[in-house]
Amino acid sequence: MQESDNDITRTPSATTPLIVPRPEHGISRANISANALKVLYRLKQENFQAHLVGGGVRDLLLGHEPKDFDVATDATPEQVRQVFRNCRLIGRRFRLAHVHFGRDIIEVATFRGNGESEAEEGERCVENGMIVRDNAYGTIAEDALRRDFTINALYYNIQDFSLIDYADGLADLRAGKLRLIGDPEQRYREDPVRMLRAVRFACKLGFSIEEATERPLFELGHLLDGVPAARLFDELIKLFHAGYGLDVFEKLRHYGLFALLFPDTEAALACEDHDFPITLVSRGLANTDARIQAGKPVTPAFLFAVLLWEPVRAGVERMVAEGMQINEAMTQVSAEVCVRQQSRVAVPKRFSLPMREIWALQPRFEQREGKRPFRLLTHPRFRAAYDFLLLRAEAGEVDRELAEWWTRFQDASGQERASMVEGGARRRRPRRRRRRKSGAASSNGGGESSAGAAKGAQ
């Protein structure tokens, strides 16, 4: 960014924004996606205002590649639909137009107002301080001030390629500061997800959270209880699947927000007297971050398997100690943990079922005799479960030898596999006899108390 000195000293306000003309800022059309440009030009052609706004502008100014491009306009969603054939209107709480270009979607939002005019009554609905519907349209100035952070309220105007700043966002961008527009507490009450967005942008951009914006994060976490569980799932994916999940985890814990999202996990982490559980979560998140940075695929099933494992592990261990068969304990405890978690964060079945399979397969890694390892290898969830086993080994929860055995077993030829299994079976036999004598509780391969079992199997 390179606004003139005069401009820098001005404090913008809703009525007199700071306008940075085209030659004085670093945004180039060459860095804006062709589809976003098409939408902007087309709206302009139809005599509507059209601006790039939000993360796209922020990230371009910071020299990052934007994740997506959002457009703001004075056209209503219905008018946007009339302009673009490839357009769908979505959202009830916040009505938006999605313009589709194959898999690419450009989100077009109509300027929001404060809903104070008579015509708009009912379009903006606030219950107990929380915005439950926000469809009152307004001017660009009003739109800017209802956005969350100052750095997210910068507009790139397709009319003259200038940058418009109503909220002092450029100064904050330059200072690396994350600042909510308006009264922070009120803004968090309006939409508690903004607390999670604060953490997300702080981690993503490496920005510090300005003091008044930061303080309520320690106090208002309980407001997340009022957020629909499905929206929290979406937000958690954005938090943990963007390549800086470990940093997010640490910050969420720092503000006490993690405990509100994952109460069972937090309770289990808090009462541990040794440190492998936290190691497992941290390592799992670091592995996910590394995969994302390497462009490898990640799945919410594995992420939630990591985030919720600790209460499952502890619960299964307890039940096995009380004499329950390990597979039964696993089924029961994972069902309980999932039901409790579901009321906070709604993990869709297509992810929660494979997540539970990843857990359920863990004790089966202990069974290395006969046909069992061959059967496990062909299980559709083997790979994810094996990755999870590696994580448990890295965290010191199971013996490394077990993980290494499975690594070798996968790569081995048919003949080598047969000899590995024979070896494994031969070594296991005496131990199994000993275990029968010592009672039913530990006679099932012992996935959860597996460090000892795995050692014995060597």
Q: Enumerate binding residues for ligand ATP (CB under 6 A).
A: 54-55, 67-68, 70, 147-148, 152-153, 191, 193-194
Active site residue 168: no
| Number of other CB atoms surrounding residue 349 within 10 Å | 8
Rg (CA), the chain: 27
In the list ligand ATP, Mg ion, none, the entry touching 389 (Cβ below 5 to 8 angstroms by class) is: none
Place of tokens 């890295």: 394
Of 155 and 406, CB closest to ligand ATP: 155
Judged by CB under 5 A, the stretch of 55-63, 211-219, 252-260, 290-298 that binds Mg ion is 55-63
Active site residue 143: no
Residues in 73-92 that interact with Mg ion by CB under 5 A: none
Q: CB of 395: closest distance to ligand ATP in angstroms?
A: 30
214 belongs to the binding site for Mg ion (CB under 5 A): no
Catalytic residue (one of 70, 74, 168, 264) = 70
Q: CB of 68: closest distance to Mg ion in angstroms?
A: 5
CB 1, CB 18: distance < 8 Å: no
Of 111 and 386, CB closest to ligand ATP: 111
Of 67 and 93, CB closest to Mg ion: 67
Active site residue 148: yes
Of 173 and 281, CB closest to ligand ATP: 173
Long-range contacts of 199-202 (CB under 8 A, 24+ apart): 199/239, 199/248, 199/251, 199/252, 199/255, 199/257, 200/235, 200/238, 200/239, 200/242, 200/248, 201/149, 201/151, 201/152, 202/178, 202/251
68 belongs to the binding site for Mg ion (CB under 5 A): yes
- Residue ranges in 93-178 assigned as alpha helix (H): 140-145, 169-175
Catalytic residue (one of 143, 148, 191, 289) = 148
Of 247 and 366, CB closest to ligand ATP: 247
Q: CB of 146: closest distance to Mg ion in angstroms?
A: 16
Widest CA span in the chain: 85
Structure tokens at 104: 């690419």
Q: Which of 158, 150, 153 is nearest to 179 (CA)?
A: 150
Type of residue found at 295: G
Catalytic residues: 68, 70, 148
What is the binding site for Mg ion (CB under 5 A)? 54-55, 68, 70
